[in-house]
Amino acid sequence: MLSRLKAKVGSVLLPGDEFCLDTTGADTISLAGPSKANKVVCGPGLRRSGDRLLVYKSGLLRHKEPNMFWMDAQHKRYVPAKGETVIGIVTSKSGDVFKVDIGGSEQASLSYLAFEGATKRNRPNVQVGDLLFAQLIVANKDMEAELVCVDSAGRANGMGVFGAGGLLFRVSLGLARRLLAPQSDLRAELEQLFPCEMVVGMNGRLWVKSTGVQRTLVLANLLESCENLTPVQRRQLFGKLAQGAL
């Protein structure tokens, strides 16, 4: 009964809502290969139990072809997921790993060797308190999250320790995702407004650096206020700023 599910895409669902995925149902949409097409992929907030699909987080139901569904929710606490890029703070060194706070329930670990060009002899220069941009290669409920600062080809690819300057602050996870979306209006508009460097972690941490401290601060404030603005309001605000003193 995928049709029932699809009909709900974009609407609010609550924990406890459930859908039947029974393919033998009468109003199954006839598809060429039901077994293949009906293979529903459950994203965050949804889980399967037998032939039922259960909602366990409140939010909006989202859908991506062919059959991927997930719940889009507004949360503040980050739950690490594999493959996501995050901004972390190095909290301690122990043995051959760094402990990095990424805002999850426990600290993630990062090996000395997971940096571009790092070897046992040539250790990266990382100090406690440094900011890092890194990718999660292990993240699941049973294990400690693990970070790397290299891609599969062994390149830094933008990851690693942040340079001096810049400002780190927190935004909601939803805003971070909006900034990272492939066609983000928000991002485009910001870039028009100021030249700046911006790093967005999926964990809701944002690092910005612009020409001068004042501009950096304005930018940070602007982003924080974007949290609750409709696109129209936002454009008005940006417009005002563009004409303003800065």
For position 34 contacting another protein by CB under 8 A, the verdict is no
Helix or strand or coil: residue 7?
Answer: helix
H/E element, 91: strand 85-94
Cβ proximity to another protein: between 99 and 209 the closer is 99
Residue 74 as a binder of another protein (CB under 8 A): the answer is yes
Q: Which is nearer to another protein, 174 or 197 (CB)?
A: 174
Site string for another protein, 38-67 (x = CB under 8 A): -------x--------x-xxxxx-------
Q: Establish if 203 lies at the interface with another protein (CB under 8 A).
A: no
Cα first-last separation, the chain = 56
Distance in angstroms (rounded) separating the CA atoms of residues 208 and 200:
9
14 binds another protein (CB under 8 A): yes
Residue 176 — φ and ψ, nearest 5°?
A: -60, -40
CB 219 within 8 A of CB 210: yes
Q: Confirm or reject binding of residue 138 to another protein (CB under 8 A).
A: yes
Smaller CB distance to another protein: residue 209 or 223?
223
Nearer to another protein, 124 or 174 (CB): 174
Binding of another protein at residue 141 (CB under 8 A)?
yes
Q: How many residues bind another protein (CB under 8 A)?
A: 36
Residue count (the chain): 246
Q: Token pair of 227, please? A: 């949290």
Pick from 39, 76, 155, 235: which binds another protein (CB under 8 A)?
76
For another protein, give the closer residue by CB, 11 or 30: 11
Nearest residue (CB) to another protein, 116 versus 144: 144
Q: By C-alpha distance, which of 80, 78, 77, 106 is closest to 92? A: 106
By the rule CB under 8 A, 16 interacts with another protein? yes
Q: How far is the CB of 126 from another protein (least distance, A)?
A: 17
Residue 42: closest CA among 70, 14, 73: 70
- DSSP structure string for 150-173: S-TTS--TT-EE--SS-EEEE--H
Q: Bridge-partner residues for 19, per DSSP? A: 53
> What tokens were used for 57?
């987080």
| 11 belongs to the binding site for another protein (CB under 8 A) | yes
Q: Strand order of the sheet with strand 46-49?
A: 18-20, 52-55, 46-49
> Residues in the site for another protein, rule: CB under 8 A?
11-12, 14-16, 45, 54, 56-60, 73-77, 79, 95, 97, 104-107, 109, 111, 138, 141-144, 146, 174, 227-228, 230
